[in-house]
Amino acid sequence: MSRIDGRTAEQLRPVTIERGWSKHAEGSVLISFGDTRVLCTASITEGVPRWRKGSGEGWITAEYAMLPRSTNTRGDRESVRGRIGGRTHEISRLIGRSLRAVVDLKALGENTVVLDCDVLQADGGTRTAAITGAYVALADALAWARDNKLVRAKAQPLTGTVSAVSVGIVDGAPLLDLCYEEDVRAETDMNVVCTGDGRFVEVQGTAEGVPFARTELDALLDLAVAGCAQLDGAQRHALDTGALPPA
């Protein structure tokens, strides 16, 4: 059975990772998973939030947002409504946790990195694209920090690599990297964040309709681990060459 866009069940959408998209940020990446496009910038500054001062450790945090017309029908701006919605909060926290999982905050020293992930166009998988892109922006910002002596020359703040992908059960079949249309129809929806060595940072599975069985969960995890391994390759290629590997 083939999917809406002709992919097989275990196939990612085309992934592009464009580094150095912004002239201001210490790290910046425009990442796309198919039609989903997220601009990820990493801003590094000396110093840490008050509750961390004097600890000798740094801090990594993230903010996710969607442009009002990144979606099919325009959404209200959260700045105009005067409050951040629950979904935005949830995803911002997820991105921050995911990246902290591969950073040695002691080696970072008392510096703060803010990862801004702004969705320019949404077609499913915005949070997983954000994590995958933010990792590359973070790596660039940490390299900048070493070049600019914010971080000691021998410090290794990055302890691993991290990427994320969505999986789900659609019409009974487990599928990798759902686009919006598939996501809407999914009975179960899962976001998985993996390190480059195949371990888990986050596993978030949700039954949208009927509850799911252990065997289904296992199938989804298998798909996700394989998908993250491919994304890990795309990240490495982008970091090595500045160019995108052939899909």
* Residue 232 · residue 238 · CB < 8 Å: no
Q: Among the candidate windows 1-9, 165-173, 207-215, 239-247, which touches a second copy by CB under 8 A?
A: 207-215
CA distance 243 to 212: 40
- 143 lies in the binding site for a second copy (CB under 8 A): no
- 167 lies in the binding site for a second copy (CB under 8 A): no
Residues 171-200 as x/- pattern, contact with a second copy by CB under 8 A: -------------------x---xx-xxxx
69 is in an annotated binding site: no
CB 69, min distance to a second copy, A: 4
CA dist 9 to 4, 29, 44, 172, 180, Å?
A: 11, 27, 39, 12, 15
Residues 5-44 as x/- pattern, contact with a second copy by CB under 8 A: -----------------xxxx--x------x---x-x-x-
Q: Which of 125, 157, 205, 227 binds a second copy (CB under 8 A)?
A: 205
Q: Which of 52, 97, 185, 236 binds a second copy (CB under 8 A)?
A: 97
Tokens 């911002």 correspond to what residue? 92
CB 81, min distance to a second copy, A: 8
- 110 lies in the binding site for a second copy (CB under 8 A): no
CA distance 129 to 64: 11
Q: Could you count the other beta carbons within 10 Å of the beta carbon of residue 147?
A: 11
Tokens 């789900």 correspond to what residue? 168
93 is in an annotated binding site: no
- 61 lies in the binding site for a second copy (CB under 8 A): no
126 is in an annotated binding site: yes
CA distance 36 to 136: 17
- 83 lies in the binding site for a second copy (CB under 8 A): yes
* Chain centroid to CA 199: 16
Where are the alpha helices (H) located in 41-112, listed in sequence order? 78-81, 86-100, 105-108
β-sheet bridge partners, residue 31: 17, 38
* Chain centroid to CA 144: 21
- 49 lies in the binding site for a second copy (CB under 8 A): no
Q: Which of 104, 143, 160, 187 binds a second copy (CB under 8 A)?
A: 160
Q: Among the candidate windows 10-18, 84-92, 149-157, 236-244, which touches a second copy by CB under 8 A?
A: 84-92
CA distance 73 to 110: 42
Q: Are strands 111-121 and 59-66 parallel, antiparallel or unpaired?
A: parallel
Q: Rule CB under 8 A: which residues touch a second copy?
A: 22-25, 28, 35, 39, 41, 43, 45, 63, 65, 67-72, 74, 77-90, 92-93, 97, 101, 114, 116, 118, 120-123, 160, 190, 194-195, 197-207, 210-214, 217, 221, 225
